Amino acid sequence: MPRANGKINIYSVLSILSYILIPSAIVVSAIVNEGRRYYIISMGIIILSFVTFALGFEKKRPQAKELTVLAVLTALGVAGRVAFYMIPQFKASAAVIIITAAAFGSRSGFLCGATVGFISNFFFGQGPWTPWQMFAFGAVGFLAGVVFAPGRVKATRIGLCIYGFLSVFIVYGFIADTSSVFMFTQNITVKTVLATYASGVVFNLIHAGATVIFLAVLGMPLIKKLDRVCIKYGIDKQ
């Protein structure tokens, strides 16, 4: 349990509870009403992720300059998904989310990922899959912030590519395939679940491979520029 000066940090506890509540709400919605309330769940994810982001600053509000940079990166992530709409699963959005998390931390990575999933689906189409995709992108960003936090793994080109492949193929792929189980499988059995996961392997490999390509090209140049922004404006990783 996170502590500050020997006491439990209430802000970190609330953040952890938010991350637990988000996937729980998605699963309950899928079981109870078959995901029909996806707009409500989607907005709930954005609100909770922003609250979690704000809690990272404890008693002070997020700085306008940080929100501006995060908004620009989110827009870049949306563009990275929409621009390659003609190629299934070949998208740059996960790479942008990972870069955001490596530069600004796990909370920023989750907020960027969830927002990218929601906004980009106004182009691809909203549906019961939206909350799942939002959480999947957010999870990739959150874990990237944890892995590449200061004092842990240094963000290098190889490190980013390895994390990008594994996180997209395993984390994003697992969550996306699980959503297919709830949405498109009438009789959920071991065989149908395994068949669903097996059918998603190729798509997950393409998505993970695309993420590696974009991280190899854009990862380090963008992170170096964003690190300079953090130093110049005194932005802490959250």
pLDDT at 1: 45
- 33-61 average pLDDT score: 67
CB-based contact 55:175 (threshold 8 Å): no
pTM of the model: 0.84
**Which phi and psi (to 5°) does residue 29 adopt?**
-65, -40
Mean pLDDT throughout 107-136?
Answer: 90
pLDDT computed for residue 106 by the predictor? 87
Residue 67 has pLDDT above 60, yes or no: yes
**C-beta of residue 145 within 8 angstroms of C-beta of residue 105:** yes
pLDDT of residue 211: 97
Residue 220 has pLDDT above 90, yes or no: yes
Average pLDDT over residues 213-228: 94
Does 65 or 211 have the greater pLDDT score? 211
Residue 225: predicted pLDDT: 92
pLDDT in tens, 83-104: 998 898 999 999 999 999 999 9
